[in-house]
């Protein structure tokens, strides 16, 4: 039994570990074009800022491959012949497979901006990008970051830590206003500007100017900013290169069923690169660390079933959505969703940059989402309340159970209840 995995990120590695536990004798080959050892991509910024050594971000001990009889192949998987069940590598080597997992992650989204290939222009995704950033930052006198996602703010913080002046271009009129409610988005704008980042809202990149290295950018509104480092962080897209070269069906991502199966027999995809087929609409793409881990494990189990001739296991059902990040010093957590018919209670303390938002369904008052800024709530408590469809009244009465902040920090639960009263919820 041969399993070939393209990509040794959290998804590919988790799948490999899972298969190894179930099938001790399967041959497992992992193709990686980035790193020898899987590492926490989420910690890239801390390596640059000197908080962590690169080795400290590795997910497992280095003897992990040997202990688990996994063969690491440092190469690029170019394409698969899905009829001959063979993967072709850049080096010329071929890998026959019984099962193939595509776990190729994401790539920074680029929009054919003039000048995007100049020196000093880069994204932030891989260890190679981090190396490039070290070189580019050494001689940078001003940096412009294009795009207002989480990675853009991380890059701003990284460069700010080296005292490089930073300007940020954000297309929306407020930071991440397509994801965050207006009040929370405003807190992030404030936090970014507090760190002396020149935040230009409602501004898009027109072109990057320069001859060999970037020397400036021009925005769509005609603003010109001199800079010799440009960070392109306008989102990430599923990395479908290998799948498309193998004629596997792709839309935004590699299209899979809820059993992680692509349209090619024996070929699975999971993690950032996968898009779930859903009737009547564009399917979900989940580009998060923890979903990569869960999907890797479940895809691994489906692969074991296939390799041992068993019927597939239970389909993948995403749990309560969760995300957390830190914008400079401002913690952010979000649980669940806020559908159109939802209403929310919002407590906001501008002076201390803290907010708590609890969303519930308009008709049933069942709590469906939380957005927290500057305050942390317990994951398992919020998740349980959403799963159990607890009423807003119940949640407000038991809010202290969710609070995770240090013992003597200000408690905001009474203020949340006051806001709920004012808004007529209780």
Ligand X SMILES: Cc1cc2nc3c(=O)[nH]c(=O)nc-3n(C[C@H](O)[C@H](O)[C@H](O)COP(=O)(O)OP(=O)(O)OC[C@H]3O[C@@H](n4cnc5c(N)ncnc54)[C@H](O)[C@@H]3O)c2cc1C
- Residues forming contacts to ligand X in the complex (CB under 6 A) are 6-12, 31-34, 41-42, 44, 76-77, 103-106, 124-126, 151, 154, 239, 242, 271-272, 287-290, 292, 325
At closest approach, how far in Å is the CB of 373 from ligand X? 16
Q: Residue 44 or residue 395: which is nearer to ligand X going by CB?
A: 44
Can you tell me the distance from the alpha carbon of 35 to that of 64, in angstroms, rounded to the nearest whole number?
14
Nearest residue to ligand X on Cβ basis: 105
Show the tokens assigned to 157.
């913080």
Q: Which is nearer to ligand X, 8 or 275 (CB)?
A: 8
Closer CB to ligand X, residue 124 or residue 371? 124
The pairing of strands 322-327 and 121-122 is unpaired
Helix (H, G, I), strand (E, B) or coil at 301: helix
Q: How far is the CB of 351 from ligand X (least distance, A)?
A: 27
* Closest CB to ligand X among residues 242, 377: 242
Q: Do the beta carbons of residue 263 and residue 249 sit within 8 Å? A: yes
Please give the Cα distance from 50 to 57 (Å, whole number).
12
- The Cβ-side half-sphere exposure at 228, using a 13 Å CA radius, reads 11
Nearer to ligand X, 32 or 333 (CB): 32
Q: Label the pairing between strands 267-269 and 205-210.
A: unpaired
Q: Name the minimum Å distance from CB 77 to ligand X.
A: 4
Q: Taking the complex as a whole, how short is the minimal distance between the CB of residue 89 and ligand X, in angstroms?
A: 8
- Rounded to the nearest whole angstrom, what is the least distance from the CB of residue 28 to ligand X in the complex? 15
CB of 34 to ligand X, least distance (A): 3
Show the beta-strand stretches assigned E in 94-201: 94-96, 99-102, 106-108, 121-122, 143-146, 166-170, 198-201
Our separate counts of H helices and E strands in the chain read 11, 25
Report the C-alpha gap between 220 and 213 in whole angstroms. Answer: 21
The nearest distance, CB 418 to ligand X, in angstroms, is 33
Report phi then psi at 142, rounded to 5. Answer: -160, 140
Locate tokens 């479940």: which residue? 298
């Amino acid at each position: 039994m041969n399993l070939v995995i393209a990509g040794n990120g959290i998804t590919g590695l988790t799948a490999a570990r899972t298969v190894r536990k179930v099938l001790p004798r399967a041959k497992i080959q992992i193709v990686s074009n980035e790193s020898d050892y899987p590492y926490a991509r989420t910690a890239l910024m801390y390596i640059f800022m000197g908080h962590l050594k690169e080795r400290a971000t590795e997910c497992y001990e280095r003897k992990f491959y040997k202990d688990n009889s996994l063969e690491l192949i440092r190469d690029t998987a170019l394409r698969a012949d899905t009829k001959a069940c063979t993967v072709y590598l850049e080096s010329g080597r071929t890998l026959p497979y019984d099962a193939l997992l595509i776990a190729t992650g994401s790539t920074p989204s680029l929009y054919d901006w003039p000048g995007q290939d100049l020196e000093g222009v880069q994204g932030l995704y891989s260890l190679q990008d981090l190396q490039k950033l070290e070189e580019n930052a050494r001689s940078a006198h001003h940096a412009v970051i294009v795009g207002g996602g989480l990675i853009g703010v991380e890059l701003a913080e990284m460069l700010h830590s080296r005292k490089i002046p930073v300007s940020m271009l954000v297309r929306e009129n407020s930071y991440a206003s397509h994801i965050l409610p207006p009040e929370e988005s405003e807190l992030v704008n404030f936090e970014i500007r507090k760190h002396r980042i020149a935040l230009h809202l409602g501004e898009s990149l027109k072109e990057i100017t320069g001859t060999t290295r970037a020397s400036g950018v021009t925005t769509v509104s005609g603003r010109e900013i001199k800079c010799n480092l440009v960070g392109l962080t306008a989102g990430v897209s599923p990395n479908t290169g290998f799948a498309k070269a193998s004629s596997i069906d792709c839309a935004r991502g590699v299209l899979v069923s809820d059993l992680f199966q692509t349209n090619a027999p024996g070929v699975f995809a999971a993690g950032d690169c996968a898009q779930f087929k859903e009737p009547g609409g564009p399917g979900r793409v989940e580009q998060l660390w923890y979903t990569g881990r869960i999907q890797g494990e479940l895809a691994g189990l489906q692969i074991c079933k296939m390799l041992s001739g068993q019927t597939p296991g239970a389909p993948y059902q995403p749990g309560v959505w969760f995300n957390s990040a830190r914008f400079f010093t401002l913690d952010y957590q979000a649980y669940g969703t806020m559908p159109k018919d939802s209403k929310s209670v919002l407590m906001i303390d501008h002076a201390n940059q803290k907010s708590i938002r609890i969303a519930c369904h308009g008709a049933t008052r069942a709590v469906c989402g939380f957005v927290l800024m500057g305050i942390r709530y317990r994951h398992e408590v919020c998740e349980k309340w959403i799963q159990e469809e607890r009423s807003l009244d119940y949640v407000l009465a038991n809010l202290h159970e969710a609070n995770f902040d240090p013992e003597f920090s200000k408690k905001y639960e009474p203020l949340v209840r006051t806001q709920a009263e004012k808004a007529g919820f209780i």
